[in-house]
Homo-oligomer: A and B are copies of this chain.
Amino acid sequence: MGDKAKCAACARGEAEEAVQDSSERGLEWLFRPRSIAVVGASSQRDNRNRFFLESLQALGFSGMLFAVNARGEAVGEWPGFRRVSEIPHEVDHVIVAIPAGAILEVLEDCARKGVRSVTVFSSGFGETGESRGRALEQEVRRWLRGRALRLIGPNCMGIYCPESGLGFRPDFPKEPGPIGFVSQSGGMTITGVLMAAARGLRFSKVISYGNEADVNSVELLDYLAQDPKTRLIWAYLEGAPHGRALVRAMEAAARTKPLLVLKGGKTESGGRAAASHTGSMAGAPQIWEGVIRKAGGLSVRTLEQMVDTSLALLWLPPCRGRRAGMVCVSGGLSVNYTDLAVQSGFEVPRLSPRLVARLREVMDLPGTSLNNPLDLAAGYFQYPAYGQLFRTLGESGEMDFIILILALEYFYLPESRYPGISRALVQAFLEAGRDCKLPFCVVMPQVQEDPRQKEFEKKFAAARIPVFPSMERALEALRGWMKWWERRRSGTSSP
């Protein structure tokens, strides 16, 4: 943490070790800087760049942090300097957040100092579509040629790696997890990480890479494909300057782990927006869909679908078929949801008379329909029977997975009679689902404002049971999960 500890580390030659490691594991060293300077961070009230320092601190970065600004002023507890080269310690990584026109001078200074990598947050380059910005970006690219220094960006947020305390938002989770994320857009990175985090997902390494003047999507995908800490990959791509290499990298990645790709700028108008965002040119929508599918990736339309599908892929066991078992409390919802499931390519098979008879032994109440969908009606609140009920379903061989519809609006009456019963019900569902020997997930439709909703969601998430906020989103996620496992079985992407 302190000044002294760091210098000792330098003295021990950890820098050399890290470089050596990089040759074996590609970009691994990028995620392990031991000190970081933020160029453009000052203590002025409206200074946004201080946020980088605050984020690193919040995420527990244990190396040294420095501010670099025109007056060389300190920022809070972080010492300040006029230039990177004036910092009297090794500086591994530099975050540059000053106007585009002043970048090259800073890069020269970084090179002089022996900085190993730079994230250029600043925009004002190729993405402006203006000749000045394009020329600047060309200059940066030219300058980089043949240099050891690696550059992420420009026009990006850089790296989030909770394991090493790297990140650009104080509210990103500190705990690492299995998702690796390469994203051309900083905004999609922020929204994506936070959206996933709220659902219980965590990340190994996230890289917002912007205009990819140097570090590019291809090498990042290659890195994540072989990174043992990454079990599933997200990619948000706008352009594809390295067309064939990118397809090759997607194929390689999808061979080792699920690859979810969200392509921005698929339509002409979207492409125009992308051009002014990261300077990328879009291809035709169908071409992209085909390319992603052919590479073995799953194409998703939205971040919501990205998160939902990841929950299914990471928390559910392999998909063995398309037969859904559905457990519900309301007849109307179960009719509607059956339609949706069938229209999404699933089956909701009628159960055998033998199985229905066995279920009747467990739970036989008026209004209860024990075929599939199981409309529990009043039986919904007979929670001591859940264990046996779900065990019977799980062992029947008549379905491939179970969707429980947790419709909290129906807890009102039982809760008014038996305060506390809602929690007991949810706990019983959770245990029954966890122990039922079939992939099991929950749909908790967003109906009323209800503080218990978040509480229950978190409970299921802690037990690694996916919860979806609507039937449609659940079905879309399960379809991705099914596709992935179908392809693995058919050998399109072998493990």
A264-B335 contact in complex given A366-B99, A410-B190, A413-B51, C-beta closer than 8 Å:
yes
A35 interface residue per 8 A CB criterion: no
B342–A267 CB distance below 8 A? yes
Task: Given A336-B264, A417-B45, answer yes or no on A331-B198 (Cβ-Cβ < 8 Å).
Answer: no
Provide the residues of chain B in CB contact with A449, threshold 8 Å: 198, 454
* A409 lies within 8 A of chain B by Cβ: yes
A183, A262, A302 pick with most chain B CB within 10 angstroms: A302
**CA of A120 to CA of B265 in the docked complex: distance in angstroms?**
55
Give the copy number: 2
Interface-side segment among A26-34, A79-87, A103-111, A269-277: A269-277
CB distance from A46 to the nearest CB of B (A): 7
A421 CB, min distance to chain B CBs, angstroms: 11
A185 at the interface (CB under 8 A from B): yes
A269 touches B338 (CB 8 A): yes
A446 at the interface (CB under 8 A from B): yes
- Report A188 CB to chain B, min CB distance, Å: 3
Within 8 A of B (CB), among A405-443: 407, 409-410, 412-413, 416-417
A260 CB, min distance to chain B CBs, angstroms: 14
Looking across the interface, which residue of chain B has its beta carbon closest to that of A349? B269
| Stretch in contact with the other chain, from A9-17, A248-256, A394-402, A468-476 | A468-476
B198, B335, B448: which contacts A273 (Cβ < 8 A)?
B335
In the complex, what's the smallest C-beta–C-beta distance from A6 to chain B, in angstroms?
A: 28
A-B contact pairs, 16 of them (CB 8 A): A46-B417, A123-B366, A170-B412, A185-B335, A187-B329, A187-B330, A190-B409, A191-B332, A191-B447, A198-B447, A238-B332, A238-B335, A269-B341, A285-B343, A302-B340, A302-B470
Choose among B335, B349, B413 the residue that contacts A277 (Cβ–Cβ < 8 A): B335
Q: Within the assembled complex, what's the spacing in Å between the Cα atoms of A236 and B238?
A: 42
A364 within 8 A of B: no
CB contacts (< 8 Å) of A348 on chain B: these are 269-270, 273
Task: Please indicate the chain B residues that have their CB under 8 angstroms from the CB of A407 in the complex.
Answer: 187, 191
Is A21 part of the contact surface with B, judged by Cβ < 8 Å? Answer: no
Number of interface residues of A (CB under 8 A): 87
A332 B188 Cβ-Cβ under 8 A: yes
Across the two chains, which residue of chain B brings its CB closest to A188?
A: B332
**A62 on the interface (CB 8 Å rule)?**
no
In whole angstroms, how far apart are the Cα atoms of A342 and B273 in the complex? Answer: 12
Chain A stretch 158-202: residues in CB contact (< 8 A) with chain B? 169-171, 183-191, 194-195, 197-198
Q: Which residues of B contact A413 (CB under 8 A)?
A: 48, 51
Look across to chain B and name the residue whose beta carbon is closest to the beta carbon of A197: B448
Distance in Å: Cβ of A189 to nearest Cβ of chain B: 8
Q: Which residues of B contact A185 (CB under 8 A)?
A: 330-333, 335
Q: Is the CB of A302 within 8 A of B332?
A: no
User: In the complex the two chains form, is A270's CB within 8 Å of B336's CB?
Assistant: yes
* In the A-B complex, the 9 residue pairs with the closest CB atoms: A185-B332, A187-B330, A188-B332, A277-B331, A270-B339, A267-B342, A264-B335, A187-B332, A270-B338
Judge whether A188 and B333 touch: CB under 8 Å.
Answer: yes
Given contacts A123-B366, A187-B330, A187-B407, 9 further A-B contacts (CB under 8 A): A183-B332, A188-B333, A191-B447, A267-B339, A269-B339, A270-B338, A270-B342, A273-B335, A278-B331
